[in-house]
C-alpha cells in the first residue's frame, strides 16, 4: 500500500484545514518545496499536493510550487481547482505524475472521460470525496446528488483505475480514517482506492492494509503534528515502494 504525505497549498504556504473549512486553517510551513523534500528524505515515493486556492476558485501561483516539488525525487499526485482540460494539461506540463479530478466529474463528465482517453488510467485519479454519503464538490463547499459508489462505478466503466476517497467529516480531526467505508467503496467499484481523511495513528494504516482492498493512504495532519512518524507509516504499509 502506498503512503502519500499531503501538502495542501494556500497562499503559497503548507496548511491543513479541519473538515475542509477555510476558516479552520493551521499553517505548518512557508516553504512547500522544503516540506516535500523532508518527506522524500524520510522515504516518501509520492507526494499528494492539493491546490486549495484553486479549489476555492482563488487566483494563485501554485503551479510554480508544483514545478519545484515535481523536480524532486518523488512523484506528485496533484489536485484542486482542475475545472477544464487545459487545467489538466497544465498540471502535467508542470510535472504532475497524476492529476486528481473532482468537481469536473460532476460539472463536465465528458471532459473527465476525454482525459482518461488522452492520458490513460494511470495518470488520472477520480476524486470521490463525500459528505453525508454524497459527493462533495467545489472545495467541499457543495454536494451533488450522487454517492461515491455510483460515481466510481460510472467512471470505472470509462476506464478509470485510481480513486481517492475522503470522508470529509473526518478530515483534519485525527479521529481515525473510515476503513470500512473505504474498503467497501473499493470492492463496489473495482477501483484502486486511496484512503484519506482522519488518519491519526499507525494503527489506521495497519487496519487499511488488513482489508486487502485499499491501495493507499494520504496522511496530513498526523504527520505535521508528529502524531505519526512517516517511517512508521511506511513500515506499516509495507515499505517505500509498496503497492
| Domain limits, the chain | 2-237
Answer whether residue 89 shows pLDDT above 90: yes
pLDDT of residue 21: 83
Q: Which CATH number is correct for 2-237, 3.30.1490.190, 3.40.710.10, 3.90.1150.10, 3.20.20.70?
A: 3.20.20.70
Give the residue-averaged pLDDT of 92-97: 98
Above 50 in pLDDT, residue 171? yes
The reported pLDDT for the residue numbered 243 is 41
Average pLDDT for residues 96-112, to the nearest whole number? 95
Query: Is residue 142 scored above 90 in pLDDT?
Result: no
Mean pLDDT score across all residues of the chain: 93
**pTM, entire model:** 0.93
Of residues 8, 53, 167, 204, which has the active-site annotation?
A: 8
pLDDT of 240 over the 60 cut: no
pLDDT at 241 over 60: no
Across the range 175-182, mean pLDDT stands at: 90
8 is catalytic: yes
Average of per-residue pLDDT across 23-27? 91
Among residues 53, 129, 171, 192, the one annotated as catalytic is 129
Count Cβ neighbours within 10 Å for each residue of 50-89 and write b for 16 or more, e otherwise. bbbbbbbeeebebbebbebbbebebbbbbbbbbbebebbe
Q: Quick check: 132 pLDDT over 80? A: yes
Q: Please, how many CA atoms are within 13 Å of residue 224, restricted to the half-sphere of its CB?
A: 22
Amino acid at each position: 500500500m502506498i503512503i502519500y504525505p499531503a501538502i495542501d497549498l494556500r497562499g503559497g504556504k503548507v496548511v491543513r484545514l479541519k473538515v475542509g473549512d477555510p476558516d479552520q486553517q493551521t499553517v505548518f510551513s512557508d516553504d512547500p518545496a522544503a516540506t516535500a523534500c523532508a518527506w522524500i528524505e524520510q522515504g516518501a515515493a509520492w507526494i499528494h499536493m492539493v491546490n486549495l486556492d484553486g479549489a476555492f476558485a482563488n487566483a494563485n501561483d501554485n503551479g510554480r510550487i508544483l514545478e519545484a516539488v515535481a523536480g524532486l525525487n518523488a512523484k506528485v499526485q496533484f489536485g484542486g481547482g482542475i475545472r477544464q482540460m487545459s487545467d489538466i494539461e497544465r498540471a502535467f506540463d508542470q510535472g504532475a505524475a497524476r492529476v486528481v479530478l473532482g468537481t469536473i466529474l460532476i460539472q463536465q463528465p465528458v471532459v473527465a472521460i476525454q482525459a482518461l482517453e488522452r492520458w490513460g488510467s494511470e495518470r488520472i485519479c477520480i476524486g470521490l470525496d463525500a459528505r453525508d454519503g454524497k459527493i462533495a464538490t467545489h472545495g467541499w463547499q457543495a454536494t451533488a446528488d450522487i454517492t461515491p459508489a455510483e460515481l466510481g462505478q460510472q467512471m470505472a466503466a470509462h476506464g478509470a483505475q485510481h480513486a481517492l476517497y475522503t470522508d470529509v467529516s473526518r478530515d483534519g480531526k485525527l479521529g481515525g480514517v473510515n476503513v470500512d467505508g473505504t474498503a467497501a467503496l473499493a470492492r463496489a467499484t473495482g477501483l484502486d482506492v486511496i484512503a484519506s481523511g482522519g488518519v491519526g495513528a499507525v494503527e489506521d494504516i495497519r487496519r487499511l492494509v488488513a482489508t486487502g482492498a485499499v491501495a493507499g493512504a494520504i496522511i496530513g495532519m498526523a504527520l505535521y503534528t508528529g502524531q505519526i512518524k512517516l517511517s512508521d507509516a511506511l513500515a506499516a504499509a509495507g515499505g517505500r515502494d509498496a503497492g
